[in-house]
Amino acid sequence: MADEDRRIADAVDREQPRLRSFIRRRVADSEDAEDILQDVFYELVEAYRLMKPVEQVTAWMFRVARNRIVDLFRKRAREALRTAPAPVTEEGEMLQLEEWLPSPDGGPEAAYARSVLLEELDAALDELPEEQREAFVGHELMGQSFKEMAEQSGVSVNTLLSRKHYAVVYLRERLRAIHEEFTQG
């Protein structure tokens, strides 16, 4: 047991600066980044305590960090959906999200349709190329400016604008199809 504790402590001491930097480049809020870092270390300890030792500790910690970052983005996406402006009709009128999604008070069928649409958004975000997803999520859901994202990533503002544009085009088309399935079906 003491040997395992030493291995965990050594891994944490050795990888903490790199892992923190990795997370901070992807998560703008320092508190969220620290929470993710602590979650990674907690999961490492739990894996050892549950007799599931990790063979490649560094790779495992970065994979867990990446997964926690994606979880945070998904959570923010759901939160943003509740407050963000929704699609625009062909007449140029804004549809509010609550108009676009079935009402949660509309009974079991509406609640089911709402959950499917939100899951579809998650799936659509996952389908985006990583660069487009990061540009979209960083700007729209995490509230980062393109300038901040450019400084953090080393990618030009114009490239980030282009990536977000392609993400928006894809998401509009992808979500329009599932929305039409529910409204016409």
One DSSP character per residue, 42-67 reads HHHHHHHHTT---SSHHHHHHHHHHH
Q: Which CATH number fits domain 85-185: 3.40.47.10, 2.60.120.430, 1.10.10.10, 3.40.50.800?
A: 1.10.10.10
| Domain covering 1-83 in this structure, CATH number | 1.10.1740
φ, ψ of residue 96 in degrees (nearest 5): -75, 150
Question: Could you read off the pLDDT of 123-176 as tens digits, one per residue?
Answer: 888 899 989 988 888 887 777 889 988 988 899 999 999 999 998 888 888 877
pTM value?
0.49
What residue spans define the domains of the chain?
Answer: 1-83, 85-185
